[in-house]
Structure 1
Amino acid sequence: MFYEDLSVYEYQPYDTFGDRESGVYAVRFRPTYTCLNIGWLEAGHPYPTGPVPAAFLEKLKAVQRVQWMNVCLGWHDCDLCPDAETPEGNGELRIPGEPGTAYAAPFLITHYITVHGYHPPQPFIDAVLAVDLDTWAAARWPDVPFPWIPEDAERLVDY
């Protein structure tokens, strides 16, 4: 599934943050922020390449360990990989950017960076580096690792 970097995200109308520990709780809401696409790569579409800061990549991987969002039932294979043993992803990440803007990336983004040399736009790199990982990692239900959850968000159990 290809979307141009920094284009407006329109894939799903709701953001759903799940609870990684229980797997049965979720917070769902229609975002009031603008989501911009980052790293939605597909074979046949060129993408920027180059090295990324090690601190950025490590923090991005750490975010993936604590944030579970828009997880789908099906899997998306990396179609950039030439062999049949391709990694799969089934969720997304949300990274807060400037006020009113968040970045929407597929869970495969770290694979795209480490294996295919993808270089995300600098505003995304800066936003990842600005994440307060200690606060996100400490979040426990009903809190989730993302700062812009509205007060009236729908709380789901056994979703």
Structure 2
Amino acid sequence: MTYYPDLSPYVYEPSDRDMVNVGWLSGQHEYPKGLVADVVVAALKILCAHPENQMRGYHQCEFCQALAPSLLGGEDGTKELFLGSAEVHVEGAEGVVYAAPTLVLHYVLEHGYCPPEEFCGAAVRKAGLGTGDELTVLE
């Protein structure tokens, strides 16, 4: 998959809105690690069930070689999600729009990736699980 540093300008696909990248990881680059609150994981499971910018085919995880890793998600936790072929877009409190590959959920759960806190808050708000002001990233 293409690597973009967190919070760099989004250029993966043409878009009519300005966005910044989150979670475009590569095995050749370091990334922030840490514990992510359960409410953020729940939000990502909801958002990955309603992806944007759906592509053909799947990206393979460069860390464990999983192709289209799957797990249960959605609002009720029963929808099978296949990650790696689409994006999650969320708008932050300051109007910044974050674009993350759906693999961001796999990276958080399996590889300890800790997305920027402002992205986590925006994901929680968009999923309808809170205001985003509550603790989202655990140090």
If the TM-score is normalised by the length of the shorter chain, which range does it land in? 0.7 to 0.9
Matches within 5 A, 1:1-159: 1-14=2-15, 30-31=16-17, 34-65=18-49, 67-81=50-64, 83=65, 86-88=66-68, 89-133=84-128
CA apart distance, 1:87: 3.2
Structure 1: which 4+ aligned runs deviate by more than 4 Å? none
CA–CA separation in structure 2 for the residues paired with 1:129 and 1:62:
10
What secondary structure is seen at the aligned counterpart in 1 of 2:35? Answer: coil
Structure 1, residues 44-91: CA drift from partner, whole Å, max 9, x if none?
1000001011111111111111x231111122110111x5xx132111
What secondary structure is seen at the aligned counterpart in 1 of 2:25? Answer: coil
CA–CA separation in structure 2 for the residues paired with 1:52 and 1:39:
13
CA RMSD of aligned residues (A): 1.5
More strand by percentage:
1
Identity %: 36
CA–CA separation in structure 2 for the residues paired with 1:107 and 1:36:
15
What secondary structure is seen at the aligned counterpart in 1 of 2:48? Answer: helix
CA–CA separation in structure 1 for the residues paired with 2:56 and 2:97:
24
Aligned partner of 1:80: which letter?
F
5+ residue gaps, structure 2, are 69-83, 130-139
Q: Which has the larger radius of gyration?
A: 1
5+ residue gaps, structure 1, are 15-29, 135-159
TM-score of the two chains, using structure 2 as the length reference: 0.75
